[in-house]
Amino acid sequence: VNTAEAAIDAAIAGIGLTRVLSYQITAAVRSGTLRTVLEAFEPQPWPVSLVHAGQGLLPVKLRAFLDFAAPRLKKRLVQAT
């Protein structure tokens, strides 16, 4: 399987276990379609970062993307916990 969506579909179909990011299955877990297992083996949370080269001034398009993405990522990640 080479996409999270395919892995999630396989898990929903009962084909087996999958390891995906929690926000990708929040709705399925809440509805009971999927459930978490092997919780003792979950990795530690990894912070999300937006990274750029940082050399001189930021291009306007990059600044616009960072300003757009940062609050949305923060909101989405908080909702998934």
Q: Do residues 34 and 11 make contact, with C-beta atoms less than 8 angstroms apart?
A: yes
Is 26 exposed, middle or buried, given 0-12, 13-18 or 19+ CB atoms closer than 10 A? middle
CA angle at residue 51 from 55 to 42, to 5 degrees? 160
User: Considering the entire predicted model, what is its pTM?
Assistant: 0.56
The reported pLDDT for the residue numbered 50 is 74
| pLDDT band (50, 70, 90) for residue 73 | confident
Least Cα distance to 51 among 73, 30, 33, 66 occurs for 66
Query: Residue 72 — very low, low, confident or very high, per pLDDT cuts 50/70/90?
Result: confident
Query: In this structure, are residues 28 and 22 in contact, taking their beta carbons and an 8 Å threshold?
Result: no
Asked if the model's pLDDT at residue 8 lies above 80, the reply is yes
